[in-house]
Structure 1
Amino acid sequence: MENRKQVNIILSIAYLFTVITCIFLFISRSMENIYYSVYLGQDRIGNAIKAFLFSNIIMIIAASIITIILRVKIKKSNQIDYFDIKEKEQIHLITGILVVIQGLTNLSYLLPSFITRALGLIKSQPQDVRNILMLRNAIIGDSISVIIILCQLFLGIYLVKYIKKKQTDIAMLRSVLLYTVITSIFSLFDRLSVLISGLGDEVRVFSINNILWAVIIVISIIMLILKIRKSNQTGYLSILENGDICMAAGVLIIVHGLLNLSTDLQYIIIHMIAFLQTPIIKSQLSEIIVQYIISMVITLVQIVLGFYLAKYYKKKKN
């Protein structure tokens, strides 16, 4: 495949993946804001929208900048429009796989707390009205997010099934494998930093809360490896010797990292405001802020690695 076409496909996958995941993420967060602000009678829709913008403005800006940059790069690469991008079969397949993996990962974050709250509601004493109300509201909020994530999964599965009988680009699957492995490693570091810093639960509870995530990641990696092996292509270490694979994984890692970085930065600002306005819980808030700063540092290292892989592509081509 010629250089320009390959670059266009890589950027198109990153573009479509970013658009899909951000749309579902913003729908989920906006629905939660509307529920807590309107349905519970705490506020009006206008203020619910303001609350959503305040808690997500940095990520909205980051997602907008990323999509605009990718869009401009795509046009410069091959003068191809959005509708043509959607019609590309390999873009559909690889984007679908990425959307499914991302959806399952997001689901693994929510299900443990959802199950814990549901069990807590079942075990609650009837006279503990306040606790029951809090758990019920939290469960409904989690249910909204779970439903939206399931919709994201169905879309990803549809994109995969759309061309299930077609020939799969093994090089792009290897890029997805490399991307999944690297982002999972950094996510693991992030989770372990919570435990080490003392902000997380004890080891037993921490393991329970993360076991679903670990299972999903391991299964995803195994499925990708099995799919690649069907092509009779072996030698996974050779992935790092392929410039196209490195660039594709690097671009995806950068996008993933920038979105996570914007989220961490947003939460730091929110907690800093709370820190200044709530002197009583300053110690707890300061610990949370430190944890988000650690998370940002880990994410920055991930982004640097993504840039290195993307630049490595050019070196291999030259």
Structure 2
Amino acid sequence: MDTYTLSNGVRIPVIGYGTWQNDDPAECVQGVVDALNTGFTHIDCARAYANESLVGQGIRESKVPREKLFITGKLRNSAHGYENVKKEVQATLKDLGTDYLDLFLIHWPVVEGHKDDWNKDNLDTWRAFEELYDEGKLKAIGVSNFSIPHLRNLIDNARIKPMVNQILIHPGVLLHEDTIFCREHGILLEGYSPLAPLKVLSKDEAFRKICENHRKSAAQILLRFVIDNGALPLTKTVHRSRMEENIDVLDFSLSPEEMAYLNSWSHPDFTPRDNMNERAPQKLDEVIDSH
């Protein structure tokens, strides 16, 4: 598996398997087993998805050695704050059946009760991230859904800057200024929901031509689009045939003209997320909105 290198030297696979909404126990466990047996080595988890114990079971049943895996976790919105982080990470490690995470992210920048002091809240939360990183329990630390003001707050005031920012990335929602900012500061972008515009784009004549040019599916083109933008796509499916399709994107690249078209494509159904207002707490016993 090809890898990116984070700012601290940690290597991360260029594509990951996401576990959001995998809440059916049998499907979740088998999905992880199939993903790892298909060739995925990066598993993206979150405490809020309420399935970490199932993901851990899938990892164990896959028989893939822990040292060959890259496991990402995320902090629930209700667990912001120095003391809460320590407890949250310990619970995640226990449920996943591991003694360290390869990457841990703040899931959302502005959470309920902290609209007016999100900067202080994130710094207090991040301080615990830094200590757990120093202890080796977290091999890399980062954020999710952060924009430039949220990132600058950590870069300017924290001891360790974020190594990753996981955001929505697909044609139609590209945040060019945020992308440039992250590149300038050595922050790797990960893209969730990269296949969101698949149905709409599949009706687009120019997009269909791109698929024909490479003899690849619409999903494969959208995943490669994220990679060719220097980011890391996260896929999500419980169907092994689609896993095999999704991981088969490392043997081609899109042309500059194709990238320019997809980078400029827009559609009224797709807009960036509002991450400047409060996000409600996430509960472990409910299915929550995407990321």
Classify the TM-score, shorter chain: under 0.3
- What's the TM-score, normalizing by structure 2? 0.25
- What's the TM-score, normalizing by structure 1? 0.23
Structure possessing the higher radius of gyration over alpha carbons: 1
Whichever structure has more helix as a proportion of its residues is 1
Whichever structure has more strand as a proportion of its residues is 2
